């Protein structure tokens, strides 16, 4: 069987693969784009787009219940139609996926293959009955939920972030195992839909990569809404109990018995069934494809982008991977992974926006630093909106004025953080922020004020 020859093969039509196909075909290259499941990858189908659509529904329900706080009266109790929420989510997600499929179909010289790709050699892959070859191959295979071998896990039904999207009934009691970003978004969301929610986390605190004050504030936000939070949980195990699922943890504590269990215990890369060994592509101990600063693998002519390379676990890092690869290949622009500044958001309400170093990381670095902080209770816009939970914190180098990092937990925190992030990319000192005039009334208007009030970091 002779192989079909292309200029490039892209495995995975996610947030890096699809735009790369667009750039390569626009440059005149023939491209085989391979997708084994749904075009758009995690973000479009089970991640950002559907979950944030549901977060918006949850916020609407939460705000409606607080209507009286704003002088608004409702004629009856607030109800939630979960099937309508799911239908709205499916419509938004489906439209995004359909748009990508239309875009791909309009790309000249791009052929979309549906199926699972596996390497035959360093420049050849098989998809079903088709054999494809190209001098350039790009991996964009993403990741999936990790399911650890916990006692009893095989004896009970459980959900992951992906299967949650197919759920068509509202859980009476959702037990969330895991206390990080995905888990907490689902926990608050379903609490606002009306479910009883319990969060069980084995670490000493929630969102362990954040500073302790941020973690404590996030926990307070969740507990204020009636979510039961258990941290420091050990010996987590599962068993059926009547029509429910019992999650036992920490000797002496009663089990959490839920109608549904969500496992949110991290992610693993989709690299274990690609035949990477036949191509000679190196992976690390966790299965991530090893890449250099320009996303080249150990095999010349093969690149890895997105969640499968361990360089980031977000849509924006995946898309930036595409930009780095395209810049190097097509624009003679030597962009690198190390050029970017860590930045992300946690979409609980109020959201957390984060960029740069945490306070703990700054202290560990040993450099002299300055810190400024202000609670949302002292931010006019937050008070006016009746959303005063959280705070803002900025870190700067005491000797150079370099902005080191920022955390904004509060209304619009996921947007306001870009005021800091862009200054960091511009390498502007903290004095630039301090002298800026921001619009009133706005959450961001207090950032220059904080920059004027920095104190030594103890």
Give CATH for domain 153-265: 3.50.50.60
Q: Note the pLDDT of residue 443.
A: 96
pLDDT tens, per residue, the chain with 458 residues: 689 999 999 999 999 999 999 999 999 999 999 999 999 999 999 999 999 999 999 999 999 999 999 999 999 999 999 999 999 999 999 999 999 999 999 999 999 999 999 999 999 999 999 999 999 999 999 999 999 999 999 999 999 999 999 999 999 999 999 999 999 999 999 999 999 999 999 999 999 999 999 999 999 999 999 999 999 999 999 999 999 999 999 888 999 999 999 999 999 999 999 999 999 999 999 999 999 999 999 999 999 999 999 999 899 999 999 999 999 999 999 999 999 999 999 999 999 999 999 999 999 999 999 999 999 999 999 999 999 999 999 999 999 999 999 999 999 999 999 999 999 999 999 999 999 999 999 999 999 999 999 999 98
Q: Which residues are catalytic?
A: 440
Where in the chain is CATH 3.30.390.30? 343-456
Q: Note the pLDDT of residue 1.
A: 67
Q: Is the dihedral of CA 106, 108, 110, 113 positive or negative?
A: positive
Give CATH for domain 4-143+268-339: 3.50.50.60
Q: Note the pLDDT of residue 2.
A: 80
16 touches 305 (CB < 8 A): yes
Burial classification of residue 133, based on how many CB atoms lie within 10 Å of its CB (0-12 exposed, 13-18 middle, 19 or more buried): middle
- For the stretch 100-118, pLDDT in tens is 999 999 999 999 999 999 9
- Class for domain 343-456, per CATH? alpha beta
Listed in sequence order, the residues at least 6 apart from 334 whose beta carbon sits closer than 8 Å to its beta carbon are 294, 327, 328
How far is CA 217 from its chain centroid?
20
CA atoms within 13 A on the CB side of 378: 9
Within 10 A of 314 (CB to CB), how many other CB atoms are there?
19
What 3-state class would DSSP assign to 446?
A: helix
Share of the chain above pLDDT 70, in %: 100
86 touches 79 (CB < 8 A): no
Listed in sequence order, the residues at least 6 apart from 366 whose beta carbon sits closer than 8 Å to its beta carbon are none
What 3-state class would DSSP assign to 254?
A: coil
Where in the chain is CATH 3.50.50.60? 4-143+268-339, 153-265
């Amino acid at each position: 069987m002779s192989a079909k020859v292309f200029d490039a093969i892209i495995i995975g039509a996610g947030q890096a693969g699809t735009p790369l196909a667009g750039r390569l075909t626009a440059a005149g290259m023939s491209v085989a784009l391979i997708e084994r499941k749904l075009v758009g990858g995690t973000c479009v189908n089970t991640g950002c787009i559907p979950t944030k659509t549901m977060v918006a529904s949850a916020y609407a329900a939460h705000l409606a219940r607080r209507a009286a706080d704003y002088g608004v009266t409702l004629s009856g109790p607030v109800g939630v139609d979960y099937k309508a929420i799911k239908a709205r989510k499916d419509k938004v997600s489906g439209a995004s996926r359909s748009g990508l499929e239309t875009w791909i179909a309009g790309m000249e010289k791009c052929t979309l293959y549906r199926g699972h790709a596996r390497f035959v050699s360093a420049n050849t892959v098989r998809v079903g009955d088709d054999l494809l070859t190209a001098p350039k191959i790009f991996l964009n295979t993403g990741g999936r939920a990790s399911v650890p071998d916990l006692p009893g896990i095989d004896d009970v039904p459980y959900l992951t972030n992906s299967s949650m999207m197919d759920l068509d009934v509202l859980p009476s009691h959702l037990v969330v195992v895991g206390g990080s970003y995905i888990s907490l978004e689902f926990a608050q969301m379903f609490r606002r839909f009306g479910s009883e929610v319990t969060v069980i986390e084995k670490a000493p605190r929630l969102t362990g990569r954040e500073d302790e004050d941020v973690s404590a504030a996030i926990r307070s936000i969740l507990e204020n809404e009636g979510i039961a939070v258990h941290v420091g949980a050990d010996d987590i195990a599962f068993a059926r109990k009547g029509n429910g699922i019992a999650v036992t943890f920490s000797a002496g504590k009663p089990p959490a018995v839920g109608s549904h269990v969500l496992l949110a215990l991290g992610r693993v890369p989709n690299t274990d069934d690609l035949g990477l060994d036949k191509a000679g592509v190196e992976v690390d101990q966790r299965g991530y494809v090893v890449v250099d600063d320009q996303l080249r693998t150990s095999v010349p002519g093969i690149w890895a982008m997105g969640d499968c390379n361990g360089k980031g676990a977000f849509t924006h890092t995946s898309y930036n991977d595409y930009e780095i690869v395209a810049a190097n290949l097509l624009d003679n622009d030597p962009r690198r992974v190390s050029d970017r500044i860590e930045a992300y958001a946690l979409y609980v309400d109020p959201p957390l926006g984060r960029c740069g170093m945490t306070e703990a990381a700054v202290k560990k670095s040993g450099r002299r630093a300055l810190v400024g902080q202000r609670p949302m209770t002292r931010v006019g816009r937050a008070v006016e909106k009746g959303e005063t939970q959280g705070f803002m914190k900025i870190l700067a180098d005491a000797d150079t004025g370099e902005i080191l990092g920022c955390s904004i937990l509060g209304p619009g925190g996921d947007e306001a953080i870009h005021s800091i992030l862009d200054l960091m990319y511009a390498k502007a000192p903290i004095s630039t922020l301090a002298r800026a005039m921001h619009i009133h009334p706005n959450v961001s208007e207090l950032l220059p004020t904080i920059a004027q009030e920095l104190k030594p970091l103890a």
